[in-house]
Amino acid sequence: MEYYFLALLLLVMMSALISGFPVAFSLPGSAILTIGIAALSGYIFTGDIDSYFVQGGPVEWLTAGVTNFRSLYWDVERDTLIAVPLFVFMGIMLQRSKIAEDLLVAMAQLFGPIPGGLGISVVFVGALLAATTGIVGATVIAMGLISLPAMLQNNYSKSLATGTICASGTLGQIIPPSIILILLADQLSNATDIASNARQTAYREATGEFVLPSTLDVTSTSAGDMFMGAFVPGLVLVGLYMLYILIYALIKPEVAPPVLYEGKYDLKFVMSVSLSLIPPLFLIFAVLGSIVLGIATVNQAGSIGAIGAIVMGGYRLNTSKKYTYFPAVLAIGATIAIAVILSFYQLNVKNIKSTSDAIGIFLAATAVIVLFVGVFWSGWRIYKIDNTLHGVMIETAKTTSMVFIILIGAAMLTSAFRGFGGEELVKGFLTGLEGGFWAQFVVVMAVIFLLGFFLDFIEIAVVVVPIVAPILLAEPSANITAVWLGVMIGMNMQTSFLTPPFGFALFYLRGVAPPSVKTLHIYRGVIAFILLQLAGLAIAGYFPALVNYMPKRIYLTSENAPPPVNPKLQVCLEDFIFNVYDTETDLLRSGVETAKGLDISYIPEKHQKRLTEAHERVLATFGLVENVRNAEKELASFIVEYRPLHKKVRFLQKKIKFVEIDIKDMERTIRRLENSGETTGTIVSKIKENIASLQSRKSELESKIPENWKAEREKYLNLANAESKARKIYRLNVDEAYEPLMELRKFIVHHDSLAALEDDLLGLKSIIANDPEKIAMKKIKVVEKLLGNVAGSSKIKSKISKARRALKRNSDREKAAGFLEQGLELFFQEVAWRGQASDQLLAGLNEYEGTLSGSIGARLQTRLSSEQAAFVASCLSEHRDVSLAF
């Protein structure tokens, strides 16, 4: 019965949206109305308002949407959506500053003389505006008013001209910074949590283990990852558009003839193009570059963009007046000065230790004041000229409010959808498809594409994505990343602006196009670009590295990069290192032989023994690598035949699970009817017949599971465990081969730091003998702290600590002096051998360490090298099937 109300929910929502009722009220209104009808029906027909919900009741599901919204967005760590008003403000400010007009005119003059040049210039400007304003409507209208008349005047095909303008305007949806990418990142962050829980449950059911290995978990995403992931696919689309226009113009010159520039290509022309092109490019670099370089978060980058837009608007709206560029020069100069000051001074107000630090703080404060003056001056101009700032703020508030109201409404609608069993219904349908993940993915993409004909991109993002994303992310057979899924959905939703009857880009252009351009021209023109968008979607889908590589590479080279020992990096890092072994085996063996020839007779026996054992472990590494490769090869050979069996059985088991769920639902319905007093009759009899039929269906499915399944599964687990064991043995071996060398080098390098403590340690004799006990203990503790900063001084520190405790417990100065003497004896021994090793051994150890660090010692480095990071990022960018672990 719940499914009837689910259908009613969808019907009410679609009817409200198609009728033109505001989205912000259609979504929550549909949820409230349907939940109310379900509760009333339950009360009338069964006497229980909770009867027609899969669980819970109307009160729980009515409040669940707002509760979920509060739990997600009132959390201080969930600040993703703060970037929305910032980027909206930046886009509207740049649009009101007439930056688009300057770019279109300049690029048309630059590209016009080549075939299809005006069309290519429109695409180029569309890409630049996408990376600055990101507002589709403003971009399409601006290009429709400026470029369309010029294209028609120069005999461009009406279909090609209108299609180019509409498609170029939609680039703002995929080229960062984009509002839809921020919304998708937010939705996918929650979807990742749900998918992770689903994987944990599946892993527990398949293996009986409660802890899911991190290598099998779902990888979340952020707005910054989405920006970096969408960047290359966005450029791919730009390239496809330009290539299509160029080829079309070469094949049929009459549809897009070249347009000669009537002026001269002189210094004035270069200056004009530069003033139009460089500021937007600089703003793009400031926003995206700050994210890529790890200087700013997405929210902070949004602030940079908003301030940059104010500065650009300040000089653009003040054209041909006095001091036009002065505020911009002040702001840019102050920003450069701050960057220079940061590179030379430590700007910590709480830690001013010298005159130099004070000078740095003063210079930085001065530069900040100058920056503030430049920004304030620009803002004042925008406020005074045509009241532009007021209009921008109003539009920003309207757009931001609309987004947040839709998010609340979508949370309520999604809650109602789940309350009527819609999520389980969708999950059952998708997971029941024969083709596995890719069948599910194609169906979801097709549905989103079709919904784009009728729904806005925000509606799709906040209604559809929370339902289907957890299902797709939880599927281990493809093991996709959230950023890849988000970019694919974003590229798909981009078509919603071009698909009739509700393609907004079509409406925007229709509103400004001359009467000679018919609606049919626009519809015809966008068809080719819709196909190009789908081609771009296919390219990004077939080559996931186009999406995944940049976020992975930036993460692995950032300040917050995980160390090489991180479990998620191991397989890819080992692929890289095993290749190193193949080419540097002789070098490593030679390094070991050289290291064996070093004189280590004077260092402590413990270090001698560990270093000697480490040499043997280095030589044993090559055999262990071969063991890993053999185990890997044997497992891969078995998987070829095992995978189809595993896929078949797990598919049958899923079907069995869904049958069991249906049986439980029917049994629950019977209990509900019995509680209401109805124990006989056709309804109960019919339900019992259905249960019997489902029990028969379950037995039939169970009989289809091959008899050799358990034996083959056991064999697979044995081979997988053997491969895992071989890798663990290898990792333990290389760690123990490198750790003694790393530790010994550290001890020797700290020789000077240890030797510098001689006076402090000797001074303790007088302190223990003469100072009051409390003062003596404080002074001893200071020396303990100094020893704690020196590698390998723990035994010395232990003796000094015992001396302090002797004073504290028994006031036994003689015993304390005895412990001090023992500590001093250890100290002089350490200083002696470390000093000799520093002169005679350290250079050889450094050379040996350099030989091992990129291979044997790679796991124990603090971060990946640039070459390793590039390889590992490329490796992790490909989606790996991990379904056999479930």
- Residue 410 has a pLDDT of 73
Residue 758 has pLDDT above 60, yes or no: yes
Residue 522 has a CB neighbour count (10 Å cut-off) of: 25
- Residue 271 has a pLDDT of 82
- For 127-153, how does the pLDDT look when each residue is reduced to its tens digit (9 = 90+)? 887 777 666 776 787 778 778 888 888
- Residue 76 has a pLDDT of 44
Residue 32 has pLDDT above 90, yes or no: no
Residue 525 has pLDDT above 60, yes or no: yes
User: CA 219 to CA 241: how far, in whole Å?
Assistant: 32
Assess contact for 240 and 536: CB atoms under 8 A.
yes
Residue 621 has pLDDT above 50, yes or no: yes
At position 17, the amino acid (one-letter code) is: L
**Residue 74 pLDDT level (bands cut at 50, 70, 90):** very low
User: CA 879 to CA 45: how far, in whole Å?
Assistant: 51
Residue 428 has pLDDT above 80, yes or no: no
Tokens standing for residue 476: 């281990």
- Residue 71 has a pLDDT of 46
- Residue 677 has a pLDDT of 64
Assess contact for 461 and 23: CB atoms under 8 A.
no
Assess contact for 793 and 830: CB atoms under 8 A.
yes
Residue 353 has pLDDT above 80, yes or no: no
- Residue 886 has a pLDDT of 86
In which residue are the tokens 């789940």 written? 418
Residue 512 Cα distances to 146, 156, 477, 521, 710, angstroms: 10, 17, 49, 14, 68
Assess contact for 432 and 654: CB atoms under 8 A.
yes
The model carries a pTM of 0.81
Residue 44 has pLDDT above 90, yes or no: no
User: CA 101 to CA 144: how far, in whole Å?
Assistant: 11
In which residue are the tokens 């966008």 written? 526
Buried/exposed code over 205-225 (b: 16+ C-beta within 10 A; e: otherwise): ebeeeeebeeebbbbbbbbbb
Residue 314 has pLDDT above 80, yes or no: yes
pLDDT greater at residue 565 or residue 83: 565
> Which DSSP category does 564 fall into?
T
Dihedral angle at the C-alpha atoms of 591, 594, 599, 601, nearest 10 degrees? 60
| Rg of the chain, C-alpha, whole Å | 34
- For 77-106, how does the pLDDT look when each residue is reduced to its tens digit (9 = 90+)? 556 667 778 878 887 887 777 776 777 778
- Residue 1 has a pLDDT of 65
Residue 607 has pLDDT above 50, yes or no: yes
User: CA 512 to CA 701: how far, in whole Å?
Assistant: 61
**Residue 433 pLDDT level (bands cut at 50, 70, 90):** confident
Q: Which of 195-209, 286-300, 580-594 has the lowest mean pLDDT?
A: 286-300
- For 239-290, how does the pLDDT look when each residue is reduced to its tens digit (9 = 90+)? 999 999 999 999 998 888 888 777 777 787 788 788 778 888 888 888 878 8
> Which is nearest to 106 in space by CA: 94, 130, 124?
124
Mapped to the 3 state alphabet, what secondary structure does 642-680 carry? HHHHHHHHHHHHHHHHHHHHHHHHHHHHHHHHHHCCCCC
- Residue 715 has a pLDDT of 94
- For 58-73, how does the pLDDT look when each residue is reduced to its tens digit (9 = 90+)? 777 777 666 655 444 4
Residue 671 has pLDDT above 90, yes or no: no
> Which is nearest to 856 in space by CA: 558, 596, 600, 592?
592
User: CA 701 to CA 125: how far, in whole Å?
Assistant: 59
Assess contact for 663 and 694: CB atoms under 8 A.
yes
**Residue 109 pLDDT level (bands cut at 50, 70, 90):** confident
Residue 619 has pLDDT above 90, yes or no: yes
Assess contact for 456 and 503: CB atoms under 8 A.
no
User: CA 104 to CA 115: how far, in whole Å?
Assistant: 17
Tokens standing for residue 338: 């701050």
Assess contact for 882 and 759: CB atoms under 8 A.
no
At position 561, the amino acid (one-letter code) is: A
pLDDT greater at residue 441 or residue 91: 441
User: CA 556 to CA 651: how far, in whole Å?
Assistant: 37
At position 365, the amino acid (one-letter code) is: A
Peptide bond just before 177 cis, omega within 30 deg? yes
Domain boundaries, the chain: 750-851
User: CA 574 to CA 579: how far, in whole Å?
Assistant: 8
Q: Return the percent helix, strand and coil in the chain, to nearest 5.
A: 80, 0, 20
- Residue 80 has a pLDDT of 62
**Residue 25 pLDDT level (bands cut at 50, 70, 90):** confident
Assess contact for 215 and 567: CB atoms under 8 A.
yes
* Average pLDDT of the residues in 678-707: 82
> Which is nearest to 571 in space by CA: 878, 866, 853, 867?
878
Assess contact for 370 and 78: CB atoms under 8 A.
no
* Average pLDDT of the residues in 830-845: 91
Spell out the alpha helix ranges (H) of 432-569.
437-451, 457-459, 465-474, 482-494, 504-512, 519-542, 545-556
Q: Of the segments 285-289, 388-392, 483-487, 663-667, which one has the largest average pLDDT value? A: 483-487
pLDDT greater at residue 856 or residue 70: 856
Peptide bond just before 115 cis, omega within 30 deg? no
* Average pLDDT of the residues in 370-379: 91
> Which is nearest to 529 in space by CA: 40, 126, 260?
126
Residue 869 has pLDDT above 90, yes or no: yes
Residue 856 Cα distances to 472, 613, 615, 870, 883, angstroms: 38, 14, 11, 19, 31
| Whole-number average pLDDT of the chain | 85
- Residue 774 has a pLDDT of 85
- For 176-231, how does the pLDDT look when each residue is reduced to its tens digit (9 = 90+)? 888 888 888 888 888 898 899 888 988 888 888 888 888 888 888 888 889 899 99
- Residue 502 has a pLDDT of 67
pLDDT greater at residue 573 or residue 346: 573
- Residue 264 has a pLDDT of 76
User: CA 741 to CA 733: how far, in whole Å?
Assistant: 13
At position 164, the amino acid (one-letter code) is: T
> Which is nearest to 249 in space by CA: 179, 154, 178?
154
Residue 488 has pLDDT above 90, yes or no: yes
- Burial of residue 599 (CB within 10 Å: 0-12, 13-18, 19+) is exposed
Q: Show Cβ contacts of residue 634 under 8 Å, excluding neighbours closer than 6 positions.
A: 719, 722, 723
User: CA 777 to CA 806: how far, in whole Å?
Assistant: 10
Q: Which of 154-168, 503-517, 580-594, 745-759 has the lowest mean pLDDT?
A: 503-517
**Residue 519 pLDDT level (bands cut at 50, 70, 90):** confident
Assess contact for 12 and 26: CB atoms under 8 A.
no
Dihedral angle at the C-alpha atoms of 423, 429, 432, 433, nearest 10 degrees? -130
